[in-house]
Structure 1
Amino acid sequence: MLSILQAAGWPIIPLVLCSIVALALVVERFLSLRQARVAPVTLVDEVLTVARTNVPPADTIDKLAANSILGLVLAQGLRAVAADNRISEANLRTAVEAAGRDAVHRMETYLNALGTIASAAPLMGLLGTVIGMIEIFGSTSTGGGATGANPADLAHGISVALYNTAFGLIVAIPSLMFYRHFRAKVESYTLAMEQASERLVQHLLRLTSTRR
């Protein structure tokens, strides 16, 4: 590996750094976007059971908010009703939607950075290729033509050109695949949260209507 890095020259250093950052982001997103941390399957049913006849106490709502990202959204709806047991449907939906936007923002954390790496890595590889070609032509002109060029300089220029192109693609392709994968997961979780929030809103509206 060290010999490959030496043959690729200094243009590969930004690509190596990008690969390390991309790997760290992929691992972090895999851990953060687990279903248990985002939208547990049975959470909304458990919340509806606890809030069947009344809004649960504040400590229970706080535990719900700390449970997961979906729990944070549901807890915001419960807090809105706890603060105003005659809250209007528009105000309740506004509170839940605000929490939902915050939840989507949390799920999308670092995804733009991963997408940027996927887009920029091929360009960095292309930059290394151009630099390698410049070195090749430079050695040719210095040597007074292709036959008089320094073979070591030619070999180094070719190595820089080819290794950087290959490494740029090696970094970009997995980064793009994981970026698309995480985007799809975020969209799936967002839909699940919208459905769960709607169920809770309808339930809370029924609770508040009985108190009027």
Structure 2
Amino acid sequence: MILAILAQITTSVDTSGVSEELKSESVLDLLFKGGFMMIPLLILSIAAVYIFVERVLTINKASKTPEAFMGKIRGMVEKGDISGAKVLCHEYDSPTARMIEKGVSRIGSPLKNIEVSIENVGKIEIFKLEKNLSLLATISGSAPMLGFLGTVIGMIDAFIAIANEEGSVSPKLLSEGIYTAMVTTAAGLFVGILAYLGYNYLVTRVQKVVHKMEYSTVDFIDLLQEPR
């Protein structure tokens, strides 16, 4: 019954008039018409941008360990200059440098203890690199659902307005209610897609840094196992 009424109403809509009205609507006007559900979507979008920018800066800083770093460490350890190696590690504020510094400070201990010490520092550094990534993933999944919820609420409001309308239902009333309700879905999908792309980009960057940390750690352990 409802579908029949909708079909009858939509056939009488002047499509040219509706399209001209939609063209005159700016994107900002449409966003304001999305209703109160646009507020949490706006908050999620700001949070996603903040997390992405902050993580990019952090990961860029973590990946700045120069290629010559391990070569210098190797030379100092082979010469027995442990204090010089520690000073060199302090000069580079990066996860790799902090892991190697822990290993250098444990030279003289059993090799297993050195490996465990480096591994513990590595776990802490990885946790720092992955900070808030799970929140960004949550935003990518929750934003579309919030948008859909806003659309459902908007459609309910539109049908209530139609039910309260006396006499024939205005096609303008129906069309405005529907396209306004769909704004939240579009906004939610937009925020969710951007957050999802940002999350995958950051995960890839973190994995590259972790591989670099693992390579440097293996290189350092091999150095300690070389015959003197």
* TM-score class, shorter: 0.7 to 0.9
Tell me how far apart the structure 1 counterparts of residues 100 and 180 of structure 2 sit (CA, whole Å).
54
Matched, 1:202 2:195: no
Contact 1:121/1:171 (8 A) holds in 2: yes
Q: Deviations over 1:95-154 (max 9, x none)?
A: 111111111111101111111111111101111111111111111111257x336945x4
Deviation at 1:155, TM superposition (A): 4.9
Tell me how far apart the structure 1 counterparts of residues 64 and 213 of structure 2 sit (CA, whole Å).
7
Tell me how far apart the structure 2 counterparts of residues 111 and 126 of structure 1 sit (CA, whole Å).
24
Tell me how far apart the structure 1 counterparts of residues 197 and 221 of structure 2 sit (CA, whole Å).
36
Partner of 2:101: 75
Partner of 1:157: 177
Q: TM-score, normalised by structure 2?
A: 0.79
**Which of 84, 87, 96 does residue 60 from structure 1 map onto?**
87
The structure with more radius of gyration: 2
Partner of 2:148: 126
- 2:191 alignment partner AA: V
Tell me how far apart the structure 2 counterparts of residues 88 and 56 of structure 1 sit (CA, whole Å).
16
Matched, 1:98 2:98: no
**Which of 112, 115, 137 does residue 134 from structure 2 map onto?**
112
**Which of 58, 62, 76 does residue 37 from structure 1 map onto?**
62
Partner of 2:169: 148
- 1:40 alignment partner AA: T
Partner of 1:88: 110
Deviation at 1:2, TM superposition (A): 4.2
RMSD value over aligned CA atoms? Answer: 2.2
Deviation at 1:179, TM superposition (A): 0.5
Tell me how far apart the structure 1 counterparts of residues 72 and 137 of structure 2 sit (CA, whole Å).
36
Tell me how far apart the structure 1 counterparts of residues 130 and 199 of structure 2 sit (CA, whole Å).
10
Gaps of 5+ in 2: 1-26
Identity of aligned residues (%): 25
